[in-house]
Structure 1
Amino acid sequence: MEKLLEMILVLLVILLGSAQVYLYGILWLRMAKIRKKLRTQGINGPKPTLLYGNTPEMKRIRQELNCLQMQDTNMNSYIFPHFLLWRKTYGPVFHYSTGAVEILHVAQPEMVKDMGRWTTSELGKPHYLMKSRKPLFGEGILFANGDLWAYEKKILAPEFFVEKIKSMIGLIVDATVPLLQAWENMIDGTVGTKEIYVDGYLRNFSADVIARACFGSSFAEGKDIFCKLRQLQMAISEQDKLVGLSALWKNLPTKSNREIKKLDQEVRLLILDLSKEHRSKDYCSDSMHMATHNSLLHAIIDGADQSPSCCSAAEDFIVDNCKNIYFAGHETTAVTTTWCLMLLAAHPDWQDRARVEALEACHGQTMLDIDALRQLKILTMVIQETLRLYPPASLMMREALTDITLGGVDVPRGTIVQVPISVLHLDKDAWGPDANEFRPDRFANGTAMACKPAHMYMPFGYGPRLCTGQNLAMAEMKLVLACLLSKFSFSMSPGYRHSPAFRLTIEPEFGMPLMVTRLS
């Protein structure tokens, strides 16, 4: 018995020693090498601690600035106050550590521009994010690299061309009907005005659009998938608050990890059931009926069946890409529409201008079409300004998968390159002294003329990974906002607490209550 205890003790000592060697030799020395390479080129940053990098300082800065947030209109003061402080100290380009990875923060225009010339095999999605967010995204188009990403892009991109979007307009209009009816029913019987938490309704609406337009179903049929993906999003965003080496605990059988694994498996089974049902319908249908089911799901299933050797198993290909479309297609659009209504409620002059335009577009038409949506110039500017102030994807994260050069700076392999989209969108050098203000007219001559240089505006990403679904997102937002503005007016609720929160997307932490009045 004593010998057994001695052997266990020796084994524990060896394991602990191996862990220390790994932490010091692999992590610390590797990151120290990256830091040295960057510092020799004049790029500095805060000094990290051994185990937790700069995360203790990040927490301290957040706590110290918390009391000042209510007076600040800059969204980054709520979410990334450490970026603002470090930028004042080290300039627009600096490096910092989370304890597990070394991050090069890039907000310098020429370096940002240079990122567009590297392929996804050279500058791709970071491996640590691919691992931590695998339950939500897998190896779908949002997180794949190299040949797999190129194949997924080839399969999915044609499904979001403008010609395909034209055929989806009717489905989007159909999805607005239950939303409008729900709000009308809530207001009926009151004095004509009611406080409504609009974010939940808009999330359901956007989910309904994706279900109808891309998967041939409805929100009611896909409700379990959307709800479980939302739960996964919340669980993973909570885990992302664990910084430094605490991220290693994500691999342990904790209650949170078990719940994520359970949700992941449940979503997988639901999507596979959906794909089997789709195959069954196609098999039993005539050619005319099959044509009506030539949806995005059909393209994903065909892509899985014909995938090259670079792809994962066919079932994984289907599940991962459906997850990506379900999440990106409805979550980002819903949260942008939510912020848009808030900004219109806070700026009634712009709300009135957008409503006049919407009423003209809707007048005498039973259904808005793609040509009518193109006439919504003011509403387009309002959406573009909302995407500038509250970009749903606030950070663009890449990993140097080989040694690369950005704006004359040599970036060593293994460096995480971080572009703070929300910081670029509020840069006064690019946007002028009113960068923090809501001014849609800055987009009167298009996005290319709104700021200098033009690539400092990137709500849909930048470079080869430009958002595949941006045409659908813009059409959906313009259509639902035009319908809402033609029937209701909006004002700020006394119960609204302004607190943008980072939950993979930027959303209102306490929901979005607005006072909604039915127009006569």
Structure 2
Amino acid sequence: MVLGSGLLANATSVSWIQLLAVYGLPCLVLLWQLGRLLDSLWLQPRRLERELRSQGLRGTSYRFFTGDLREQGRMNKEAWSRPLPLRCHDIAPRVAPFLCGSVREHGRVSLSWFGPTPKVTIADPDLARRVLSDRSGHLEKPKFPALWKLLANGLSNHEGDKWARHRRLLNPAFHLEKIKCMIPEFSACCEELVSRWSESIGSDGWCELDVWPELQKLTGDAISRTAFGSSYLEGRKIFQLQTEQAERLVTNIRKILIPGYLSLPTKNNRRMYQINNEIESILRGLIGKRIQAMEGGESTKDDLLGLLLESNMRHTNENGKSSTGMTIEDVIEECKLFYFGGMETTSVLLTWIMVVLSMHPEWQDRAREEVLGLFGQDKPGYEGLNRLKTVTIIIYEVLRLYPPSIHLSRKTCREVEIGGVKYPAGVMIELSVLSMHRDINIWGDDAHQFKPERFAQGISKASKNPGAFLPFGWGPRICIGQNFALLEAKMALCMILQRFQFALASSYTHAPHTVVTLHPMHGAQIKLGLI
């Protein structure tokens, strides 16, 4: 009897151990995960909020999980439903109503929430330059790795030694002397554009075009030729795929807070991964062929890919370690960034230039007079493009009023002091380019007006604070392709002005909004006439 009781007790003990093994450990793991989730979605945001508010920061209070995303989405939907009056350049309340309201209500430094992450918006140029010039390593670019890798995970997304190494290897490809050599390619692409437009002119001497997709095609062709030379037709395919990828990315941007969202087999996610695989397959083939040719003794071509590979191989040979250069995967990501940055920024800039000059024909006439005076009907050359004054100040003023990127972002990875406030790790810092570019205390009461003459004596004297003009960023991470973009924009604008006069079509709706960069929501319908 005693033996039977012992066996029963022993069996019961074993069963409890088995139950604990089967159910207990998974339950503990689940509780641990729930604890981490609670901390990241509630306890940590509340701690950070108390710490920031104790130092005098004002702004919105944290709302569980979504933060201000829902309110921001509601305000965007409402603002984007109403177009602006023609010739109205006060675009901030429509383009970024939440940000605009936050700066107006809480000042140049204000607190809001990107989901559970505190976001401090800075609209003070001096503080912005302090952030952009940081070399301490305490500030880094915000990372959405799985998402951004599907678009471009190159130089702009790297930090520390990897960023420094890639920047050093890329610099030779963007040296001004090398960019000068690309002028014939810019010119050829622009010639194709103006010839196509000329053929569209009707018997009355006019035609109507949506120039937005036309200018995207122009800059896509330009980056295809300058990046891959004779393989530019394959480059066109990349341009088309990346355009679709950017649009699909924006539909996902507000869903990235859901853990594992990009792993879900949704139709949009599957297509994004398919596009990424297609782009990488094309690039891998192009890069492989080029490396094989270079190793076979073929001379390096003066396109971006050739210059990058030459720089990379020279660096590797000099240092004797392949680990100090770029891998094939690194080169692929930089090429993806060539495309997105090179195509997107310049096409956005040219579109808004044509829209704004259609609104202000007096400045269009002045620019055309300068171009015809310098070049006549000849193709523009580098020296002439460098002497343009009216065209240059027009470009600067359009960049001020319609910056391609309306904000620049950083994230604290360690505690850092900015303007007397100590920001703990885990805070997103958003520099509002849109706000600084139109601050009446900096630019004057005419800050919302198109007045290119403010730049007549250069950027440093255009406002009370030269640090308020940040279309390409500033500091060590200033856009590496700014000379490329400005030279291409000047070439295209000159060749358009040589052939055409233009005005807004009656179907045009003034509705700028953000899709990664600042786009015309309903296109840019322009009436073109031969001069």
TM over 0.5: yes
Given residue 301 of structure 1, which amino acid in structure 2 is its aligned partner?
A: L
- 1:502 match: secondary structure: strand
- 1:240 match: secondary structure: helix
1:463 to 472, 475, 485: 475
Partner of 1:122: 138
Partner of 1:53: 67
1:210 to 211, 223, 229: 223
Structure 1 residues 96-135: aligned runs within 5 Å: 96-119=112-135, 121-127=137-143, 129-135=144-150
**Are residues 1:360 and 2:390 paired?**
no
| 1:337-360 C-alpha deviation (Å, 9 max, x unpaired) | 011000001110000000001111
Structure 1 residues 1-20: aligned runs within 5 Å: 17-20=31-34
1:30 to 44, 54, 57: 44
Given residue 121 of structure 2, which amino acid in structure 1 is its aligned partner?
A: H
The Cα of 1:469 is off from its aligned counterpart by 1.0
CA contact (8 A) 1:237 1:504 kept: yes
TM-score by length of 1: 0.91
**Are residues 1:40 and 2:48 paired?**
no
Using the alignment, how far apart are the partners of 2:179 and 2:61 within structure 1? Answer: 50
Partner of 1:235: 248
The Cα of 1:32 is off from its aligned counterpart by 2.1
CA RMSD after TM alignment: 2.6
Gaps of 5+ in 1: none
Using the alignment, how far apart are the partners of 1:270 and 1:230 within structure 2? Answer: 16
1:162 to 176, 181, 190: 176
CA contact (8 A) 2:191 2:495 kept: no
Given residue 353 of structure 1, which amino acid in structure 2 is its aligned partner?
A: R
Structure 1 residues 86-485: aligned runs within 5 Å: 86-119=102-135, 121-127=137-143, 129-138=144-153, 140-187=154-201, 189-217=202-230, 219-242=232-255, 245-246=257-258, 248-284=260-296, 286=298, 290-291=299-300, 293-302=301-310, 314-363=327-376, 365=378, 367-485=379-497
Given residue 371 of structure 1, which amino acid in structure 2 is its aligned partner?
A: E
The Cα of 1:496 is off from its aligned counterpart by 0.9
Given residue 113 of structure 1, which amino acid in structure 2 is its aligned partner?
A: R
In structure 2, do the counterparts of structure 1 residues 69 and 39 end up closer, same or farther at CA, with 3 Å as the change threshold?
farther
The Cα of 1:122 is off from its aligned counterpart by 2.5
Between 33-42 and 326-335, the greater mean CA deviation after superposition: 33-42
Q: Give the share of equivalent positions with the same residue, in percent.
A: 29
TM-score by length of 2: 0.89
Given residue 114 of structure 2, which amino acid in structure 1 is its aligned partner?
A: T
CA contact (8 A) 2:146 2:262 kept: no
In structure 2, do the counterparts of structure 1 residues 10 and 89 end up closer, same or farther at CA, with 3 Å as the change threshold?
farther
Given residue 152 of structure 2, which amino acid in structure 1 is its aligned partner?
A: F
Given residue 230 of structure 2, which amino acid in structure 1 is its aligned partner?
A: S
In structure 2, do the counterparts of structure 1 residues 506 and 67 end up closer, same or farther at CA, with 3 Å as the change threshold?
closer
Using the alignment, how far apart are the partners of 2:25 and 2:270 within structure 1? Answer: 28
- 1:137 match: secondary structure: coil
Using the alignment, how far apart are the partners of 1:75 and 1:59 within structure 2? Answer: 17
Aligned length: 508
In structure 2, do the counterparts of structure 1 residues 196 and 16 end up closer, same or farther at CA, with 3 Å as the change threshold?
farther
Given residue 134 of structure 1, which amino acid in structure 2 is its aligned partner?
A: K
CA contact (8 A) 1:304 1:318 kept: no
In structure 2, do the counterparts of structure 1 residues 313 and 257 end up closer, same or farther at CA, with 3 Å as the change threshold?
farther
- 1:506 match: secondary structure: strand
CA contact (8 A) 1:69 1:77 kept: no
Given residue 123 of structure 2, which amino acid in structure 1 is its aligned partner?
A: A
The Cα of 1:271 is off from its aligned counterpart by 0.5
- 1:490 match: secondary structure: strand
In structure 2, do the counterparts of structure 1 residues 225 and 45 end up closer, same or farther at CA, with 3 Å as the change threshold?
same
In structure 2, do the counterparts of structure 1 residues 419 and 311 end up closer, same or farther at CA, with 3 Å as the change threshold?
farther
In structure 2, do the counterparts of structure 1 residues 297 and 68 end up closer, same or farther at CA, with 3 Å as the change threshold?
closer
Gaps of 5+ in 2: 1-17
Using the alignment, how far apart are the partners of 1:246 and 1:422 within structure 2? Answer: 29
In structure 2, do the counterparts of structure 1 residues 8 and 353 end up closer, same or farther at CA, with 3 Å as the change threshold?
farther
